[in-house]
Amino acid sequence: MPSEPATPQFQVYTATHICLSVTLHFQLVEFRDAAFVWVGAGGKEVLSNLAAAIPALHGGPPAATTVLSNDVQETSKQLAQRLARKFNKRFFASINLPNDQNIVPLAEKKIFEFVKEHLS
C-alpha cells in the first residue's frame, strides 16, 4: 500500500556575509517548536560552543545552559537567551568566530536579521 509523502518537519536556511573582511557562514534550522542557529568564520567552521535556551512562561529571562564550550565569555549561551526571548521559541545556538571583539557584535546583528527573515 503506497504511503503519502512525508511533510518536512524542519527547514534549513544558509547564508554567507562578509563583515570586516571576514567571511561569516550562517545556518538556521527551524523545527516546529525550536530552532538551531550556527555561525562560523575564520577557520572555525565547526560545531562547538553549543548552548540551549528555553523562553520563560511568564515573561522572565529565558532559562539557558551551555552544552559544549571552550568560550569563557559564554557568547553562544547569551545569544540563545536573547533569541529565545525575542522569538519566544526554544533555541540552540553555536557561535564559532575568531577572537576579534569587533566581529562578534556585527555577526550577532546579522544573526538576528537572518533569523527574523526566516522565522517571522
Q: What total number of domains does the chain contain? A: 1
Evaluate whether residue 65 is within a structural domain: yes
- In this structure, what CATH number is given to the domain that contains residue 83? 3.30.230.100
**What percent of the chain is predicted at pLDDT more than 90?**
52
* DSSP secondary structure letter of residue 42: T
Range among 7-11, 13-17, 54-58 rated most confident:
13-17
pLDDT tens by residue, 51-87? 999 998 887 889 999 998 776 678 899 999 999 999 9
pLDDT of 31 reads 92
User: Per-residue pLDDT for 1 more than 70?
Assistant: no
pLDDT at 27 over 70: yes
Residue 5 covered by a domain = no
Query: Which residue type sits at 117?
Result: E
Q: Which whole number is the average pLDDT over 30-48?
A: 85
User: Which residue segment(s) compose the domain that 88 sits in?
Assistant: 19-119
Asked if residue 107 is part of any domain, the answer here is: yes
The answer to whether position 63 is within a domain reads yes
C-beta atoms surrounding 81 within 10 Å: 22
Angle between helices 103-119 and 75-87 (to 10 degrees): 30
Whole-Å CA distances, 98 to 31, 44, 60:
28, 7, 32
Q: What is the pLDDT, as a whole number, of residue 96?
A: 87
Q: Is 76 left (phi over 0), alpha (psi -120 to 50) or beta?
A: alpha
| 9 in any annotated domain | no
Is residue 84 one of the residues assigned to a domain? Answer: yes
Q: What is the CA radius of gyration of the chain?
A: 15
Contacts of 87 (CB under 8 A, 6+ apart): 35, 115, 119
**How many whole angstroms separate alpha carbon 102 and alpha carbon 11?**
31
> pTM score, two decimals?
0.85
Q: Is residue 10 part of a domain?
A: no
Q: Is residue 13 part of a domain?
A: no
